[in-house]
Structure 1
Amino acid sequence: MPVFRETPYGAFNFLVELERGQGKEPRAGFSEVSGLNTEITVAEYRAGNDPQNHVRKLPGIYKSGDVTLKRGIMGADDIWGWITQIRQGEAAPGVKREVMIRMLDEQRANVVVSWKLRGAMPLKWTGPTLNAKGGGDVAMEELVLSVESIEMES
């Protein structure tokens, strides 16, 4: 169980679970997660007889941003299989998924906080930049997920 503390946790220990039961094996080993956000829209309103000369801001619906995952190319076809389902118009269960992102403490023993991405599905895949001049770069793939909502659990 995570413990509140004065110093913030590092952002380098995390697990991504694209499917239930997955997360610790290499194919779910992402090197970067970005775009975790939610936004509440505001409706501006002012009645004509309001004594204050300003609009009131009323909370409206909320939306979640797209989440980007990056990992090194390693021969796993799980992401491409998911994309293929959607490209072929399959409405089968599993097209929209519940993706879990869990941040861990320094010992990798305790979950500090989790984010549940509901209704997640691939929006964009970007392959690696290949360069024959060499270098020590890792071939990376990027997956952008469209997310219906994000829930935080601790």
Structure 2
Amino acid sequence: MPNDLIATDPIVAQNFYLEISGENIVLSGVSGLDVEHDVVTIQQVGKDGKAQSVKTRGNALKANDITITRMAPMNAMEDPIWKWFASIRDKGFTGMARDTNRKNGSIVLFDTAFTEIGRFNFYNGWPSKLATDAVSTDSNEAVKETITLVIERLERVK
């Protein structure tokens, strides 16, 4: 067998869920699992008078928002994400503690045998937006929600 063949099966992009505060929430889509360095650009002029651009790593990693999609819950007021969103809407971030209403969690990936093969941990996240699909009388599709989680850090740990 040639050595240049792929040695492992690929991650199938349909086996994943959200783990947060002891809850496992089934999802139908995730985007924004980007881990990115902050880039600092310095402009300077060399001894021959030509402009030069130097790019280097900044002091922080960028944390983009995570967007998750799931089937809309039957009872939003009993759903943990809707409760979390409502708490932030109604109370804001109260007190001096930064962890008030901010939560750590994970997007967990599985292979086709349902063995965990990937994990993205996020820190100090909170839902900034809940969007429900449009509804129509001529549709047979399940109603979905798209949730935007604002996070402060993301790291792939597995």
Pairwise same-fold verdict (TM > 0.5): yes
Q: Which residue of 2 aligns with 1:66?
A: 65
Q: How far did residue 143 of structure 1 move?
A: 0.5
Q: Which runs of 5+ in 2 are unaligned?
A: 1-5
Give secondary structure in 1 for the equivalent of 2:149: strand
Out of 79, 82, 96, which is 1:80 matched to? 82
Q: Which deviates more from structure 2 when the two are superposed, residues 34-43 or residues 121-130?
A: 34-43
Distance between the aligned counterparts of 2:157 and 2:32, measured in 1? Answer: 17
Question: Judging changes above 3 Å, is the alpha-carbon distance between structure 1 residues 153 and 140 closer, same or farther for their aligned structure 2 residues?
Answer: same
2: CA distance, partners of 1:82 / 1:65:
20
CA distance in 1, matches of 2:43, 2:134: 52
The farther-off stretch of 37-46 and 56-65 is: 37-46
- TM norm structure 2: 0.79
Report how far residue 70 of structure 1 moved. Answer: 0.9
Confirm or deny: 8 A CA contact 2:35 2:155 kept in the other structure: no
Q: How far apart in 1 are the matches of 2:133 and 2:150?
A: 21
SS at match of 1:82: helix
- Counterpart of 2:3 in structure 1 is none
Match for 1:15 among 5, 14, 17?
Answer: 17
Q: Read off the aligned partner of 2:72 and give its amino acid letter.
A: I
Residue 66 of structure 2 aligns with an amino acid whose one-letter code is V
Alignment match of 1:57 (pick from 52, 55, 68): 55
What amino acid sits opposite 1:130 in the alignment? V
Conserved? CA contact 2:93–2:100, under 8 Å: no
User: Counterpart of 1:140?
Assistant: 144
Answering whether residue 112 of structure 2 is matched by residue 111 of structure 1, we say: no
Change beyond 3 A, Cα 1:120–1:50:
farther
| Aligned alpha-carbon RMSD (Å) | 2.3
Higher strand residue share? 2
Runs of 4+ in 1 over 3 A off after TM superposition: 4-7, 46-53
Mark the runs of 5 or more structure 1 residues left unpaired by the alignment.
none
CA distance in 2 between partners of 1:115 and 1:73 (Å): 23
Q: Distance in 1 between matches of 2:55 and 2:150?
A: 28
Q: Decide which structure has the larger Cα Rg and report it.
A: 2
